[in-house]
Amino acid sequence: MVNQYWRECEWSSTGNGFTEWVIEISDKPGVEEPEPAFKYIGNMHGDEPVGRELLIRLANWICDNYLKDPLATLIVDNVHLHILPSMNPDGFSLGRRGNANNIDLNRDFPDQFFPRNDDIDSRQPETRAIMNWLRKIQFTASASLHGGALVANYPWDGTEDKRRIYYRCPDDDTFRFMASTYSRSHRNMSLSTEFPGGITNGASWYPIYGGMQDWNYIHAGCFELTLEISDNKWPNADELSTLWEYNKMSLLNLIASVVKMGVHGRIFSSDRGRPLPGSIMIKGINYTIKAGRLFADYHRLLTPAKGYEVVASVSGYKSKTTGILLGEAGMSLDFILDPEGTPVENLRTTCDCSYCGMSKLENLWGFHLEFYYIILIVILAFLCFLFIRRMGFYFLNHRQSPKRSFQA
């Protein structure tokens, strides 16, 4: 039964020849659907293995509880979930932070402020694998699991001048909400005395450059968090069950948030009804996401309980803007866009009215006839009014006239 809903994919090989495996969980594994995709990545740093263990437990729990638990069922039926338990098996086998080349993978991605070499072939094999992965699959959101602290971290991770300050990205409110979703569901993360609410802006904590979460947001349209899930990087094996219970609902609720929050829909053309893989923008937020290539589906994460103006645009079509009032739950909103510059001749050929093919004189004469009909109707209505009024006076006078008396 479980095998119907998950599969293991041989994903990539590391410098030392380890195979990286991704667990895919869906009601239709291997099939693209018009639904949001989410990914978890663990063990990016080889000496932070707790995420590796918890993600394996997460995959087992979801599959074991499908059709038994409503949250597991919601995830399988509505989210295309991918889980990479270990991004850095080389570092894990060596017991160190870096990979086989002793490179910190969370400093190896292209950076927005201090670019080094944007040639993908010059990067580490694990970094290249992630970048190629996101070219194939359009993820809505994701999270990377780390250890050494207890906090949910969100962009930006760095600053333009390398100062340690709060540095907001365009979707700061949404990221704060997502980070709080994880923190509040955790046993004690939100009770942190170091990080108010158990969340932090990355640059406010300590700036880093070449990080994976900023690259996801900038280049892949993916809202990624960096989750520090254990103060102790190498806890005893008998502590894993406790760490799992502390993080279980947080891991599940963060996945479910890509369905439960924001606005979701598809973009179609009005002329043929075909899907249009265009883009979605929110007025006032300087960030654009792309609709899916196959179904033209979009999944725009937004902070609940606010009003937004959603703009859909596709090259060659007229953009359309719709105002929404987003509640606590997510909502659906499809767009149907009209082609730009439709010729007048085309309008005439698709016209279904009785005036098509008439000359200007015929149209003018038809206008005059309509005008005369209106005058005639007004006159008839006035005559009816006079007639009713006259009859009313007649009956009133008749009822008020004195009765004659008759004598026997």
HEC string of the chain equals: CHHHCEEEEEEEECCCCCEEEEEEECCCCCCCCCCCEEEEEECCCCCCCHHHHHHHHHHHHHHHHCCCCHHHHHHHHHCEEEEECCCCHHHHHHCCCCCCCCCCHHHCCCCCCCCCCCCHHHCCHHHHHHHHHHHHCCCCEEEEEECCEEEEEECCCCCCCCCCCCCCCCCHHHHHHHHHHHHHHCCCHHHCCCCHHHEEEHHHHCCCCCCHHHHHHHHCCCEEEEEEEECCCCCCHHHHHHHHHHHHHHHHHHHHHHHHCCEEEEEEECCCCCECCCEEEECCCCCEEECCCCCCEEEECCCCCEEEEEEEECCCECCEEEEEEECCCCEECCEEECECCCCHHHHHHHCCCCCCCCCHHHHHHHHHHHHHHHHHHHHHHHHHHHHHHHHHHHHHHHHHCCCCCCCC
**Does the structure show a pLDDT above 90 at 393?**
no
Q: What is the pLDDT of residues 174-195, one digit of tens each?
A: 999 999 999 999 999 999 999 9
Which long-range contacts link 339-342 to residues 24+ away (Cβ below 8 Å)?
A: 339/269, 339/270, 339/271, 340/316
Q: 352: which 2 tokens? A: 């279904």
Nearest Cα to Cα of residue 298 among 264, 336, 259, 321: 264
In the structure, what pLDDT confidence band is assigned to residue 380 with cuts at 50, 70 and 90?
confident
**Residues annotated catalytic, as ranges:** 228
Averaged confidence pLDDT in the chain: 87
Give 18-53 pLDDT, tens digit per residue.
Answer: 888 999 999 999 999 999 999 999 999 999 999 999
Q: What is the tens place of the pLDDT at every residue in 346-360?
A: 433 233 333 233 333
Which residues, 6+ apart, have CB-to-CB distance to 361 below 8 Å? none
- Nearest alpha-carbon partner for 263 in 224, 302, 236, 289: 302
Identify the pLDDT of residue 19.
86
CA pair distance 193, 379, nearest whole angstrom: 84
What are the tokens at 255? 């996945």
Cα–Cα–Cα angle for 224, 115, 37, rounded to 5 degrees: 20
Q: How far apart are CA 44 and CA 173, in angstroms?
A: 26
In the chain, the amino acid numbered 139 is F
Is 70 exceeded by the pLDDT of residue 399?
no
Q: How far apart are CA 288 and CA 311, in angstroms?
A: 10
Confidence of residue 376 (pLDDT cuts 50, 70, 90): low
Which pLDDT score is estimated for 174?
98
Q: What is the per-residue pLDDT for 389?
A: 67
Q: What is the pLDDT of residue 145?
A: 98
- For a pLDDT cut of 70, what percent of the chain falls above it? 82
pLDDT digits (tens, 9 = 90+) for 193-236: 999 999 999 999 999 999 999 999 999 999 999 999 999 999 99
Which pLDDT score, from 0 to 100, does residue 392 have?
57
Measure CA of the first residue to CA of the last residue in the chain; give whole Å.
Answer: 108
Quote the pLDDT of residue 179: 98
Per-residue model confidence as pLDDT tens digits over 64-119 = 999 999 999 999 999 999 999 999 999 999 999 999 999 999 999 999 999 876 77
pLDDT at 13 over 70: no
φ/ψ (deg, to 5) at 46: -60, -25
7 strand-pairing partners: 24
Q: Which amino acid is at 279?
A: S
What pLDDT does residue 255 have? 98
Tell me the backbone φ, ψ of residue 373, rounded to 5 degrees. Answer: -60, -40
Look at residue 89 in the predicted model and tell me its pLDDT.
96
- Beta bridge partners, 332, equal 264
SS3 84: strand
Q: In whole angstroms, give the CA distance from residue 320 to residue 317.
A: 9
Angle between helices 240-260 and 172-185 (to 10 degrees): 140
Unique residue bearing structure tokens 């009133």 = 396
